């Protein structure tokens, strides 16, 4: 049996690869406009990093990691997300000793052993940003503005921005107690998952998708009401900054992030029309994470975008992108004795920044014309006995069907004129 790509992985081939290049370019340029610089970290890390950084009780760590032992029996893990590596790099290179805040972006494949589904793969791609060294609520607002700007530049405007604050560890403990107190009396009404987890992490019950749980918890206290003065003030400033900048958001009391390290501001972007995996991006503040990973006590905030989901969203909104890699010039070589000479002609065209190609499979002239048409060539250059003898080339405009014979030296200007 032939070998296929492993479950949950896939190949990105033309013409789809052009779509990827298109959205990557827009995203990187937007991030750079906001003052971010790129980092590239390893695709695998010590398993311990993710256990510490992502949280040992999370689903990601407990059941979704690609963990393996190398030949020296080190336990390594294919990265399931990008924040932990960023934090590790920040600490390892003592970046916090320099100018703060540090604004980074990254992009690349992530790995999670999940059941594949629409918008969910085992190897998927994320773009993310991280900022270290500032606790300003206006930075929270700016990072959300970056996220919104990226979506706008991609032509995506039909989305929902959900916002909440999960407070600091103090608020959370306070809230946890309140929640447990409220859930305990009616725990029989909850699904088995929630019954199992409400003691340890009652926050998870809030965004449980089971209807009966949602019904059971209606009227329950919100974390917003348990925020301490500092956290409440922080959240209020974030909201008003967004309002001042005309960013529409939905305060979502049920939004709690799945990763343990989040504090204060949490946000998610949803595009419902792409299916049940509607979260295109999400992030928040993680003020305790750097310290937790062995660094100094400095705050951080970031978000990640799911590239596959962005593509799904763009595909669901027709006409958003149609990047075509068309050929400028096709060189039809009418006699094989000019094969080598033809390469020189192509070289000259390409040196003038003209996208040019030719046939290598011995096609007839007619077949070469068809081939040129399929490649989307705007111009065909004919190179046959007549032309070579006269020191000229015949240039055919494929759109107007006009043809003219020009001196060798005039070929590039004439073609540039047609392409312009």
Partner RNA sequence: GUGGGUGUAGCUCAGCUGGUUAGAGCACCAGAUUGUGGCUCUGGGGGCCGUGGGUUCGAGUCCCAUCAUCCACCCCA
Angle ∠(193,194,199) on CA atoms, nearest 5: 120
- The CB-of-97 to RNA minimum distance in angstroms stands at 28
DSSP SS3 for 46: strand
Q: How far is the CB of 98 from RNA (least distance, A)?
A: 27
What is residue 116's three-state secondary structure? coil
The H or E element spanning position 312 is: helix 307-316
Nearest to 59 by CA among 263, 282, 259, 205: 259
CB nearer to RNA: give 239 or 257: 257
State the binding string over 204-233 for RNA (x if CB under 7 A, else -). x--xxxx-----------------------
DSSP state letters, 236-299: HHHHHHHHHTT---EE-TT---SSTT-EEEEEEEE-GGG-S--EEEEEEE-TTHHHHTTS-S--
What is the closest distance, in whole angstroms, from the C-beta atom of residue 378 to RNA in the complex?
Answer: 9
**Applying CB under 7 A, which of residues 167, 371, 415, 418 lies at the interface with RNA?**
371
Shorter beta-carbon distance to RNA: residue 369 or 415: 369
Hey, what are 107's tokens? 């992009």
Q: Which is nearer to RNA, 43 or 367 (CB)?
A: 367
Interface with RNA includes 282 (CB under 7 A)? Answer: yes
326 binds RNA (CB under 7 A): no
d(CA 115, CA 128): 23
Q: Does 387 bind RNA (CB under 7 A)?
A: yes
Q: Check if the beta carbon of residue 202 is closer than 8 Å to that of residue 183.
A: yes
Q: How far apart, in whole angstroms, are the C-alpha atoms of residue 179 and residue 216?
A: 13
Phi first, then psi: give them for residue 100, nearest 5 degrees. Answer: -120, 150
- Residues 329-358 binding RNA (CB under 7 A) are 334
Q: Which of residues 180-209 bind RNA (CB under 7 A)?
A: 193, 204, 207-209
Q: Which of 115, 215, 336, 360 binds RNA (CB under 7 A)?
A: 115
Residue 254 binds RNA (CB under 7 A): no
Nearer to RNA, 64 or 230 (CB): 64
Residues in region 148-187 near RNA by CB under 7 A: none
- Pick from 175, 174, 269, 201: which is nearest to 55 by CA? 201
The single-letter DSSP state of residue 79 is: -
Closer residue to RNA (CB): 31 or 305: 305
What is the size of the binding site for RNA (CB under 7 A)?
71
Tell me the Ramachandran region of residue 377: left when phi exceeds 0, alpha when psi lies from -120 to 50, beta otherwise: beta
Nearer to RNA, 29 or 405 (CB): 405
Q: What are phi and psi of 123, to 5 degrees?
A: -110, 115
Binding mask 45-74 for RNA (x = CB under 7 A): -------------xxx---x----------
CB of 229 to RNA, least distance (A): 28
Shortest Å distance, C-beta 138 to RNA:
22
Structure token pair of residue 332:
């039809």
Is 385 one of the binding residues for RNA (CB under 7 A)? yes
Question: Rounded to whole angstroms, how far apart are CA atoms 331 and 84?
Answer: 51
Structure tokens at 114: 């999940």
C-alpha pair distances (Å), 326 with each of 18, 321, 322, 346, 395: 11, 15, 12, 16, 18
- Which listed range, 34-42, 112-120, 222-230, 337-345, lies at the site for RNA (CB under 7 A)? 112-120
The partner residues of 129 in beta bridges, in order of sequence, read: 105, 303
Asked if the peptide bond before residue 101 counts as cis, ω within 30 degrees of 0, the response is yes
396 lies in the site for RNA, by CB under 7 A = yes
Residue 251 binds RNA, judged by CB under 7 A: no
- Residue 386 binds RNA, judged by CB under 7 A: yes
Q: Which stretch binds RNA (CB under 7 A): 92-100, 153-161, 337-345, 384-392?
A: 384-392
Work out how close the CB of 81 gets to RNA at its nearest, in angstroms, rounded to a whole number: 6
Q: 81 vs 140, which CB is nearer to RNA?
A: 81
Q: Is 287 in the site for RNA (CB under 7 A)?
A: no
261 near RNA, rule: CB under 7 A: no
Residue from the set 108, 258, 288, 323 that interacts with RNA by CB under 7 A = 258
Interacting stretch for RNA, rule CB under 7 A, among 6-14, 164-172, 337-345, 411-419?
Answer: 6-14
Q: Which helix (H) or strand (E) holds 386?
A: helix 385-390
Task: By CB under 7 A, tell whether 109 contacts RNA.
Answer: no
Looking at residue 222, the DSSP 8-state letter turns out to be: P
């Amino acid at each position: 049996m032939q070998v296929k790509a492993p479950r949950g992985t896939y190949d990105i081939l033309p013409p789809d690869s052009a779509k990827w290049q298109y959205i990557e370019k827009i995203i990187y340029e937007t991030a750079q406009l906001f003052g971010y610089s790129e980092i590239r970290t390893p695709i695998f890390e010590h398993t311990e990093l993710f256990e510490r950084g992502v949280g040992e009780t999370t689903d990601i760590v407990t059941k979704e990691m690609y963990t393996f032992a190398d030949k020296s029996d080190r336990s390594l893990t294919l990265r399931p997300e990008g924040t932990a590596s960023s934090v590790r790099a920040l600490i390892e290179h003592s970046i916090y000793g320099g100018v703060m805040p540090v604004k980074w972006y990254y992009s690349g494949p992530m790995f999670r052993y999940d059941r594949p589904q629409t918008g969910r793969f085992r190897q998927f791609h994320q773009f993310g940003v991280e900022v270290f060294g500032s606790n300003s609520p206006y930075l929270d607002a700016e990072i959300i503005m970056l996220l919104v700007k990226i979506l706008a530049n991609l032509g995506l405007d039909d989305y929902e921005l959900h916002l909440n604050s999960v407070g600091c560890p103090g608020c959370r403990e306070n809230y946890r107690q309140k929640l447990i107190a409220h859930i305990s009396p009616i725990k029989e009404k909850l699904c088995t998952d929630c019954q199992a987890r409400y003691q340890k992490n009652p926050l998870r019950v809030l965004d449980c998708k089971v209807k009966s749980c949602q019904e059971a918890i209606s009227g329950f206290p919100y974390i917003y009401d348990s925020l301490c003065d500092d956290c409440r003030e922080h959240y209020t400033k974030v909201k008003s900054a967004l309002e001042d900048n005309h960013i529409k958001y939905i305060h979502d009391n049920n939004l709690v992030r799945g990763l343990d390290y989040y504090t204060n501001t949490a946000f998610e972007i949803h595009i419902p029309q792409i299916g049940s995996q509607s979260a295109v991006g999400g992030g928040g503040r993680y003020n305790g994470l750097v310290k937790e990973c062995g660094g100094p006590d400095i705050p951080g905030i970031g978000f990640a975008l799911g590239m596959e989901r962005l593509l799904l969203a763009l595909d669901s909104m027709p006409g958003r992108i149609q990047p075509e890699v068309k050929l400028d010039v096709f060189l039809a070589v009418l006699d094989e004795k000019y094969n080598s000479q033809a390469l020189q002609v192509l070289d000259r065209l390409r040196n003038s920044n003209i996208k040019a190609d030719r046939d290598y499979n011995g096609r007839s002239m007619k077949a070469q014309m068809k081939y040129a048409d399929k490649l989307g060539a705007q111009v065909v250059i004919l190179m046959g006995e007549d032309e070579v003898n006269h020191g000229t080339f015949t240039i055919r405009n494929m759109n107007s069907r006009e043809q003219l014979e020009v001196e060798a030296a005039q070929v590039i200007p004439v073609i540039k004129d047609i392409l312009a």
